[in-house]
A and B are shown apart, each in its own frame.
Chain A
Amino acid sequence: MPRDASACYSAAGSRGSARLADLVGVSVTTAYLTNWLYVFAFLAAGAVLVVLILAMEFLVNPRHPTPGKLSTYECGIVPVGDSWHPFAVRYYLFALLFLIFDVEAVFLFPWTLELRSLGTAGFIEVVIFIGVLAVGLLYAWRKGALDWH
Chain B
Amino acid sequence: MDAQAATAVNNSIEVILPLIVVSAGALAVLVADLFLGPRTKGLLAWLAAAVLVVTMAVAVGQWVTFSGGLSFSGRAPEAGFADMVVMDKFGLFFVLLFGAAGLLTVLLGDAYLAARGAARGEFYALLLLVIAGMIGLATATDLISFFVAFELMSLPTYVLAGYARRDPLAGEASLKYFINGAFSSAILLFGFAVLYAISGSTTFSAISAGLEEPSLGQGAAMVGFVLIAAGFGFKIAAVPFHGWAPDAYQGAPTPVTTFMSVGIKAAAFAGFLRLFAAAVLPAWEVWTPILMVLAVVTMIVGNVLALPQRNIKRLLAYSSIAHAGYLLLGIIALGETGDQYGSSAVLVYLVAYTFMNVGAFGMLVFMRNSRPFFRYTLEELRGYGRTAPLPALALTLFMLSLTGIPPTAGFWGKFYLFSAVVDAGQTWLAIVAVVMSAVSAFYYLRIVWYMYFEAAPDVLIPGESTALPASAGAVAAVAQGDHREVAERPAGDAGSSTVMSTIAADDPAARAEPSAAPLHADRQPIDAHLVETDTGTVAALLVAAAGVLFIGIWPQGLVWAAQGAVRLLGGG
Known A120-B1, A135-B30; judge A2-B215 contact (CB<8 A).
Answer: no
B214 near A25 (CB under 8 angstroms)?
A: no
Q: In the complex where A5-B285, A120-B1, A142-B34 touch, is A27 in contact with B27 (Cβ < 8 A)?
A: no
- Whether A56 is near chain B, meaning CB under 8 Å from some CB there, is no
Interface-facing stretch out of B216-224, B310-318, B416-424: B216-224
- Which residue of A is nearest B286, CB measured? A6
Instruction: Please tell me if the beta carbons of A3 and B338 are within 8 angstroms of each other in the complex.
Output: yes
Listed by A's residue number, 13 A-B pairs whose Cβ atoms lie within 8 Å are A1-B338, A2-B282, A5-B212, A5-B283, A6-B283, A9-B218, A12-B213, A25-B220, A26-B217, A27-B215, A27-B216, A119-B1, A139-B31
Q: Which residues 1-58 of B sit at the A interface, judged by CB distance below 8 A?
A: 1, 5-6, 9, 27, 30-31, 34-35
The 8 Å CB contact of B285, one of A6, A24, A132, is: A6
A138 to B30, CA, bound (A): 10
Query: Are B218 and A6 neighbours in the complex by a CB distance under 8 Å?
Result: yes
Question: Please, what's the 1-or-0 string for B210-248, where 1 marks a CB less than 8 Å from any CB in chain A?
Answer: 011111111111000000000000000000000000000
A8 interface residue per 8 A CB criterion? yes
| Interface range for A | 20 to 34
CB-CB < 8 A to A3: which residues of B? 338
A13 contact set on B, CB distance < 8 A: 217
Binding site for B on A (CB under 8 A): 1-3, 5-6, 8-10, 12-13, 22, 24-27, 30, 32-33, 119-121, 132, 135, 138-139, 142-143
A88 to B: closest C-beta gap in Å: 19
Closest 9 CB pairs of A and B: A25-B219, A25-B217, A9-B218, A5-B282, A142-B34, A1-B338, A6-B285, A119-B1, A30-B215
Residues of B within 8 A of A132 (CB): 27
Contacts of A8 in B (CB 8 A): 211-214
Given contacts A2-B212, A2-B282, A135-B27, contact A27 B1 (CB under 8 A): no
Q: Are B31 and A138 in contact (CB under 8 A)?
A: yes
Q: How far is the CA of A143 from the CA of B284 in the complex (A)?
A: 52
In the bound complex, how far is the Cα of B31 from the Cα of A32, in angstroms? 50
Residues of A within 8 A of B221 (CB): 9
Identify the closest chain B residue to A131 (Cβ). B27
Q: Given A5-B282, A6-B285 in contact, is the A25-B338 Cβ separation under 8 Å?
A: no
- Known interface pairs A1-B570, A135-B27; A24-B212 also in contact (CB < 8 Å): no
Size class of the B contact interface (CB-based, 8 Å)? 20 to 34
Tell me the B residues contacting A by CB distance below 8 Å.
1, 5-6, 9, 27, 30-31, 34-35, 200, 211-221, 281-286, 338, 570
Apart from A10-B218, A13-B217, A33-B216: 11 A-B pairs, beta carbons within 8 A: A1-B570, A5-B284, A6-B285, A9-B218, A10-B217, A12-B213, A32-B215, A135-B31, A139-B34, A142-B34, A143-B34
**Residues of chain A with a CB closer than 8 A to B570's CB:** 1
With A and B bound together, what is the CA distance between A22 and B200 in angstroms? Answer: 20
What's the minimum C-beta distance from B224 to chain A, rounded to whole angstroms? 12
Question: In the complex, what distance in Å separates the CA atom of A135 from the CA atom of B285?
Answer: 49
Nearest residue (CB) in B for A119 is B1
Question: When the two chains form the complex, which single residue of B213, B215, B217, B282 contacts A1, counting CB atoms closer than 8 Å?
Answer: B282
Instruction: Name the residue in A3, A9, A27, A32 with the highest tally of chain B Cβ atoms < 10 Å from its Cβ.
Output: A9
Whether A5 touches B211, Cβ cut-off 8 Å, given contacts A135-B30, A142-B34, is: yes
Distance to closest chain A CB from B345 (angstroms): 18
Is there contact, CB below 8 Å, between B220 and A121? no
Most buried by A among B5, B214, B216, B220: B216
Known contacts A3-B338, A6-B286, A25-B220; A12/B214 CB under 8 A: yes
Residues in B with CB closer than 8 Å to A142 are 34-35
User: Do B217 and A9 touch (CB < 8 A)?
Assistant: yes
- A25–B216 CB distance below 8 A: yes
| Contacting residues, chain B, for A24 (C-beta < 8 A) | 217, 219
Write out the residue numbers on chain A whose beta carbons fall within 8 Å of the beta carbon of B31: 135, 138-139
